[in-house]
Structure 1
Amino acid sequence: MSTVVASPRRIATLALPALVVLAAEPVYILVDTAVVGHLGQVPLAAIAVGGTVLTLIAWIGTVVAYGTTGRSARRFGAGDRAAAVAEGVQASWLALAVGLLVVVAMQIGGAALARTLAGGPGEVADAAALWLRIAALGAPGLLLAAAGNGWMRGVQDTRRPIWFVLGPNLLSAALCPLLVYPVGLGLVGSAVANVVAQSICGGLFVAALIAERVTLRPEPRLIRQQLVLSRDLLIRGVAFQASFLSAIAVASRFGPATAGAHQITLQLWFLTALLLDALAIAAQSLVGAALGAGDAAVARALARRLALVGGACGLAFAALVAAGAGVVPTWFSNDPQVHQQALLAWPWFAAMLPLAGVVFALDGVLIGAGDVRYLRNLTVLAALGGFLPAIWSAYVFGWGLGGIWAGLAFFVVLRLVAVLLRLRSGAWAVVGAVR
């Protein structure tokens, strides 16, 4: 058991399929950004605002997926696959309820939220509100897919999610430019394509759950247990999203070119972050299974190995990002002002990637171990004490987009120090089927 779980081949077997799944959505968003970016500054700035809110919804999905993976993996490691799948059933009910709430909330408050993030009424706010109302209709599918990914990773089924996620996103990537340009829907076409992908994806994961032939009844006891775990992950996610929403609010106040450049760089950051998160997914599954089987030594070995691999992958991504500094922004916009602004963020973007590789890998280790309370406290403190003061200082003192991205780098450094200290303590490695 130990040699299989801790082997590099086993890590790669879980991480590489997870990488494809994680990359599909951000790659689609990058395609979406490139298509809309050629409509002009206002549509690009609008999708920067609306896309940031959609990213918040996706983070809710991440909370559902990560919480489900850890609990399912522990039950799977203890030899109870049916109980591991049952965690997915309850997570899916939770995801559906939250997704429907998001739809209602965006229809009621989407316009006000868009105005707040865009810095007040205007063309950007109006366009962002319209995009957001339509795109939010895909929230139930997005969150159901997240729950499905969670339990499948827990039982170490990594092949089916590739097709469930990749297929709908490829369809939508082809549909988006058709709706935006030949059909003539413009920005609305982008939102419609988004909803199509997320709805099909969620439906495929629901069908897979039904095929498991387990009871589909809601179990309030299990849902309550998941909510306790999700509460800490959600608070952590709220700290992230408050930071990123503040960043787009500050960038918007420097003008459409700065907001557009921030959108391009931020979506590339999210893409690389999610690619690096493939190691975190492997860590959640393997560490959860190892601790569920009572093997703390394997869990500790995995943590050390994944930290090293994460740093190496981060270095590779940093080299690619640095090499593309003068070229990549031109793929997303024809505006020279947007290109100039993107170059202000680029050095910070590249420099933080090796550190982020270690941080994300160890985040996965701690989530798989169920040590989410520590991660919650760490993220809240790093956001309140580092990221938020830094980005609002960038606005007050006129540091521009470079200042905003320096704040993000500071946020990553604070988290790196804290997770390394936690890893060294060993307090996270608690064995048992459910922590």
Structure 2
Amino acid sequence: MRPQYPFRVRHADVWRIALPACIAFITEPLAGLVDMTVIGRLGDASLLGGVVLGALVFNIILSLAYFLRIGTAGLTAQAIGARDPADGLLHAVRALLVGGLIGIGMIVLAVPLLMLSGWLLAPGDGVREALADYFYIRVWGAPFSLINFALLGWFYGRAEATTGMILQFIIHGINIAGSIVLVQGLGLGVEGAALGTVLGQIGASIIGLMLMLGHYGGLGQIVDRVRLGELFQRVALKRMFGLSRDLMIRSIALQATYAYFAAQGSRMGDIELAANAILLNLLFIIGFFMDGIAQAAEQLSGKALGANWQPAFEEAYRLSMIWGLIIAIVMGFGWYFFGPYIISLMTTRAPVQAYAVQFLGLAALCSLTFMPAFVFDGILVGTTQNVVMRNGMIASLVVFVGVAWLAQPLYGNTGLWLALHAWFIARGIIYWWALRRIRSRMFAQ
């Protein structure tokens, strides 16, 4: 019989994790905005295009390794709930090793990766040159970026959301300051923007590793506590790589949905593409706030599973949904009423402004339809239900493409946004149904 470790989940427990996570996540788009601004002020559209495409390439590549962050968080939260005296040390060390190796592999394969990116994106000559300058600097930060994924997963899995917030502040703070100094002060251009990002990742990984070493009493203590036989245990490695595989497939399906949405908008025309991009970016900003609640659901549900205490799981489920709904309503109304002003700040083209405002209400409704999917993502990550996440994302992608295929020819851009709503709703329903079926088995004696 599995031992049980009872504990309670209260509103304060949710917000102790959610609030610093929300603050940390919202700094991510700010760093990208500063990079684009400092390069944009140089007055060369090719340089700006190279930075935008370079950031896109790394966002896509690194998103495929995001399992290092969410997988480590779920496994660590379960270890904490099960009273693991090592606080999930083995999970963290495995993730750090895998992240470092993948990052080194990216450096070794930098040339073919850049060639593939250029073939897929087909930039003009000026943009292609700027993309190469950005890529060959930024790729040196790949190992540190992936090490930070593992560290953040370990800290968030242990409910140390404030430490995770500080590390993300370090990443983006050094990036922002470095980009301004290197580009505007030293005139390094695209290379300066890339180097600022690399310095941010290096600084955060050094500090994060120091904090981790301090928690265990130094490197010698970690070496003494990690046995190679346990670290490379076949069952544990199989579980880790199975989790990684499923979360990677889930990330690919997620990226494919947004790529399809953007591609269909592009086919309708430049105005439609620009307006949809603005509205989608507003959705992403709300998503950063919702990620904080998902982070709380992830840690608390994972801890409950590790503790084998279903009452705590049910409370975490209930409170996360309640606060998710409250945030969704508040953010949705804010998006709708302040949207016209934000849109006018983001673009000066009157046709794009008018078209975006025309679809503002339908887009703002996403804050409600995507809320359950976000919270369920957190719960499923915390309980490492990776197969459910993978299959649910693939099934909902099929729903999205099917609705878009039927509705867009009839209703144009309205049909495309309806397909996005169908995607969110389908994910929520699939995850709800799957959790209803398996939750009793998760806590079986």
| AA in 1 matched with 2:98 | L
1:51 paired to 2:55:
yes
Q: How does 1:94-243 map to 2 (within 5 A)?
A: 94-117=98-121, 121=124, 123-124=126-127, 127-211=130-214, 212=216, 213-215=221-223, 219-221=231-233, 222-243=236-257
Specify which of 410, 418, 422 is matched with residue 434 of structure 2: 422
SS of the counterpart of 1:427? Answer: helix
Deviation at 1:293, TM superposition (A): 1.3
Matches of 2:86 and 2:288 in 1, distance apart? 29
Q: Deviations over 1:45-103 (max 9, x none)?
A: 55554333333244235321111111111111111130512211111111112222334
Q: Is the 8 A contact 2:178 2:199 kept in 1?
A: no
Change (3 A) 1:189 1:347: farther
> Given the alignment of the two structures, is residue 82 of structure 1 paired with residue 96 of structure 2, yes or no?
no
Could you tell me how far apart the structure 2 residues matched to 1:123 and 1:339 are?
A: 29
Please give the alpha-carbon distance, in whole angstroms, between the structure 2 residues aligned to 1:36 and 1:207.
33
- TM-score calculated relative to the size of structure 1: 0.85
Q: Corresponding residue for 2:64?
A: 60
- Structure-1 separation of matches of 2:425 and 2:150: 30
1:386 positional shift: 1.2
- Determine the C-alpha separation between the residues in 2 that align with 1:123 and 1:403: 37
Tell me the equivalent position of 1:28.
31
Which protein shows a greater Rg? Answer: 2
Conservation of the 8 A alpha-carbon contact between 2:178 and 2:195: no
Deviation at 1:170?
A: 1.7
- In structure 2, how many angstroms separate the alpha carbons of the residues matched to 1:113 and 1:204? 32
SS in 1 for 2:177: helix
- Return the match for 1:302 from 316, 320, 340: 316
| Cα drift, residue 304 of structure 1 | 2.2
Q: How does 1:250-269 map to 2 (within 5 A)?
A: 250=264, 264-269=278-283
Query: Which range is displaced more, 354-363 or 50-59?
Result: 50-59
| Aligned-residue offset at 1:299 | 0.6
2:326 corresponding residue in structure 1? 312
User: Mapping of 1:260-409 within 5 angstroms?
Assistant: 264-332=278-346, 339=353, 342-343=356-357, 346-387=360-401, 390=404, 399=412, 405-409=417-421
Q: Is 1:412 equivalent to 2:429 in the alignment?
A: no
| Structure 2 CA distance for aligned equivalents of residues 359 and 5 of structure 1 | 24
Alpha-carbon spacing, 1:339–1:188, altered in 2? closer, same or farther (3 Å): farther
What is the aligned residue count? 430
Alignment partners' CA distance in 2, 1:134 and 1:373: 36
TM-score normalised to the size of structure 2?
0.83
Moved more, 164-173 or 84-93: 164-173
Cα shift at 1:399: 4.5
Contact 1:291 1:299 in 2 (8 A): yes
Q: Could you tell me how far apart the structure 2 residues matched to 1:331 and 1:409 are?
A: 26
Letter in 1 for 2:73: T
What amino acid sits opposite 1:214 in the alignment?
I
Identical residues among aligned pairs (%): 23
Give the drift of 1:335: 5.4
Q: Distance in 1 between the 2:394 and 2:246 partners?
A: 11
Moved more, 105-114 or 167-176: 105-114
Q: 1:427 to 1:191 in 2, by over 3 A?
A: same
In structure 2, the CA distance between the partners of 1:249 and 1:122, relative to structure 1 (3 Å rule), is farther
Gap runs ≥5 in structure 2: none
Superposed CA RMSD in Å reads 3.5
Partner of 1:18: 21
Greater shift, 422-431 or 405-414, is seen at 422-431
